[in-house]
Structure 1
Amino acid sequence: MRELYFCRHGITDDLENGIRNRPDALLSPTGHEEARRAAGILMARLVVPQLVVCSALPRAIQTAENIAEVIGYDPDKIVQSELLNERDCGIAKGMKNADIKQVYPGGFDTVPGAESTEAMQQRAADAAEWLEEFQEETVLAVGHGVSGRAMARHYMDLPYTDEFDPEIRQKVNLKNGQIMRLSPAPVELFPVDE
Structure 2
Amino acid sequence: MSKSIFLVRHGQTVFNAQQRLQGHCNSDLTDLGQQQATTIGLSLKNKLANKRQWTIYSSPLGRAMQTAAIVAEQIGIDASEIVPDARLQEFCLGEWEQAYIPDIKATQPRLCEQRDWYLMAPNAESYYAVKDRIEDFLADVSVPENVIVVSHGLTGAVFRGVYVGMTYNEVFSQDLPQDAYFLLANDKISRIQCDVQSVATVAV
Interval containing the TM-score (normalised by the shorter chain): 0.7 to 0.9
Aligned alpha-carbon RMSD (Å): 2.0
SS of corresponding position for 1:36: helix
1:6 CA displacement: 0.6
Name the CA distance, whole Å, in 1 between partners of 2:33 and 2:183. Answer: 21
**Matched-pair contact (CA < 8 Å) for 2:45–2:74:** no
1:177 CA displacement: 4.6
Q: Is residue 144 from structure 1 mapped to residue 144 from structure 2 by the alignment?
A: no
SS of corresponding position for 1:113: coil
Please name the residue that 1:43 is paired with.
45
- Identity %, equivalent residues: 26
Please name the residue that 2:67 is paired with.
63
1:70-149 mapped onto 2 (5 Å cutoff): 70-104=74-108, 105-106=110-111, 107-130=117-140, 132-134=141-143, 136-149=144-157
Name the CA distance, whole Å, in 2 between partners of 1:10 and 1:110. Answer: 25
Q: Is residue 154 from structure 1 mapped to residue 154 from structure 2 by the alignment?
A: no
What is the number of residues matched between the two proteins?
186
Please name the residue that 2:26 is paired with.
24
Does 139-148 or 42-51 show the bigger shift? 42-51
Gaps of 5+ in 1: none
Please name the residue that 2:4 is paired with.
3
Name the CA distance, whole Å, in 1 between partners of 2:36 and 2:129. Answer: 29
TM-score (norm 1): 0.87
1:26 CA displacement: 1.0
SS of corresponding position for 2:56: strand
**Matched-pair contact (CA < 8 Å) for 2:60–2:86:** yes
**Matched-pair contact (CA < 8 Å) for 2:179–2:195:** no
TM-score (norm 2): 0.83
**Matched-pair contact (CA < 8 Å) for 1:11–1:177:** no
CA gap 1:73/1:177 in 2 versus in 1, 3 angstroms: farther
Does 22-31 or 32-41 show the bigger shift? 22-31
1:101 CA displacement: 2.8
Please name the residue that 1:187 is paired with.
189
Gaps of 5+ in 2: 112-116, 197-204
1:159 CA displacement: 2.6
**Matched-pair contact (CA < 8 Å) for 2:181–2:192:** yes
1:146 CA displacement: 0.3
